[in-house]
């Protein structure tokens, strides 16, 4: 689509103009993509967090889920689903929606030739910028979720409302609501940069080397298949990149680490443990999660007539 002025404008590169309506729909699509998928895999998240903070007791994905279910019933493996749904809906809204805004802004700042030559840098910058805001929205709910999931049975409320109230009441101890913001940024910004860079790059590879006709000539189902495959590949890579920081976020919620700095906890545990403990579970979780997030987001965009994300 051509710009009304006739000049090159990134907001008019797709099938529809990137106006306020487009960005608003992108915000909603991002909320659906992240909120629904993260809530659906709560049992995997509960298992992963407990394996990170208590590796002696919780060993392996299936044994951990079985043990939690035996100790606490079905509620035990769904702990934290409330703050997960709300928190990641807010995060996804900013992550995906504002990414679209920043990508257009940075492309227009760079100009046509530079943005084409350095498109990877544009993806990295736009995703990092969006994630800064996304994590501010997520942090209080992520802290609440981790506290619910890693506290000993009966020591902390598991219901959403009472848990938020308790976090606020104990904010001197829990550092609520933004005590985990820096480690969250250290986890999520590299994760999101890898997620969007690898996704956009993989989509480009598919359309340059496998589906070589113009993207719009392929059916929506084919385009969404490319979306899911690219998202899954991106998820595996970003899970590995962000796992050490993810382990730190979980360990910050452990009662025994009250008052300790991030550096102190990292030194005690060791980088090798931070980088590998629970990694297999997280790769499975994040690969599946990211594949479905991109699929939901692009399905929503396609339904709204916005076109799927990425291309040559």
Read off the pLDDT of residues 139-152 as tens digits, 9 standing for 90 and up: 999 999 989 988 88
Mean pLDDT of 221-227: 97
pLDDT classification of 191: cutoffs 50, 70, 90: confident
pLDDT classification of 275: cutoffs 50, 70, 90: confident
For residue 177, cis peptide bond before it (omega within 30 degrees of 0): yes
The terminus-to-terminus CA distance of the chain in angstroms comes to: 16
What angle, rounded to 10 degrees, do the helices at 220-252 and 262-269 form?
90
Looking at per-residue pLDDT, the higher value among 232 and 241 belongs to: 232
* Weakest mean pLDDT among 181-185, 203-207, 298-302: 181-185
φ, ψ dihedrals at 119, nearest 5°: -60, -35
Name the pTM for this structure: 0.84
Q: Which CATH superfamily is domain 17-303 in?
A: Mitochondrial carrier domain (1.50.40.10)
Q: Rounded to whole angstroms, how far apart are CA atoms 307 and 302? A: 5
What CA–CA distances, in Å, run from 51 to 186, 236, 247, 277? 21, 19, 10, 7
* Kind plus residue range of the DSSP H or E element containing 24: helix 20-40
What CA–CA distances, in Å, run from 248 to 22, 27, 41, 274? 37, 29, 20, 7
285 pLDDT more than 90: no
Q: Rounded to whole angstroms, how far apart are CA atoms 110 and 143? A: 37
Percentage of the chain with pLDDT > 90? 61
Average pLDDT, the chain: 90
> Domains of the chain: which residue ranges?
17-303
pLDDT tens for each residue of 260-273 = 777 777 777 787 78
């Amino acid at each position: 689509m051509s710009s009304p002025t006739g000049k090159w404008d990134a907001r008019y590169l797709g099938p529809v103009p990137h106006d306020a309506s487009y960005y608003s729909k992108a915000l909603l699509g991002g909320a659906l993509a992240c909120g629904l998928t993260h809530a659906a895999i709560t049992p995997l998240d509960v298992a992963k967090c407990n394996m990170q903070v208590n590796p002696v007791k919780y060993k392996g994905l299936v044994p951990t889920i079985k043990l939690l279910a035996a100790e606490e019933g079905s509620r035990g493996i769904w702990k934290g689903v409330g703050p997960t749904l709300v928190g990641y809906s807010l995060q996804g809204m900013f992550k995906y929606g504002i990414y679209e805004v920043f990508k257009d802004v940075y492309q227009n700042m760079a100009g046509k030739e530079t943005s084409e030559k350095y498109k990877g840098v544009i993806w990295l910058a736009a995703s990092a910028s969006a994630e800064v805001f996304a994590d501010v929205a997520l942090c209080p709910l992520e802290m609440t979720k981790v506290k619910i999931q890693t506290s000993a049975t009966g020591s902390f409320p598991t219901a959403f409302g009472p848990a938020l109230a308790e976090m606020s009441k104990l904010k001197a101890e829990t550092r609520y609501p933004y005590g985990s913001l820096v480690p969250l940024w250290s986890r999520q910004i590299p994760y999101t940069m890898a997620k969007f860079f690898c996704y956009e790059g993989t989509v480009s590879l598919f359309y340059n080397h496998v589906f070589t006709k113009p993207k719009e000539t392929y059916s929506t189902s084919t385009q969404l298949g490319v979306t899911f495959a690219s998202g899954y590949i991106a998820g595996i890579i970003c899970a590995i990149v962000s796992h050490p920081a993810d382990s730190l976020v979980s360990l910050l919620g452990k009662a025994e680490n009250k008052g300790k700095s991030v550096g102190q906890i990292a030194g005690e545990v060791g980088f090798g443990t931070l980088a590998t403990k629970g990694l297999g579970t997280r790769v499975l979780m994040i690969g599946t999660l990211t594949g479905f997030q991109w699929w939901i987001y692009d399905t929503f965009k396609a339904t709204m007539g916005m076109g799927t994300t990425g291309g040559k």
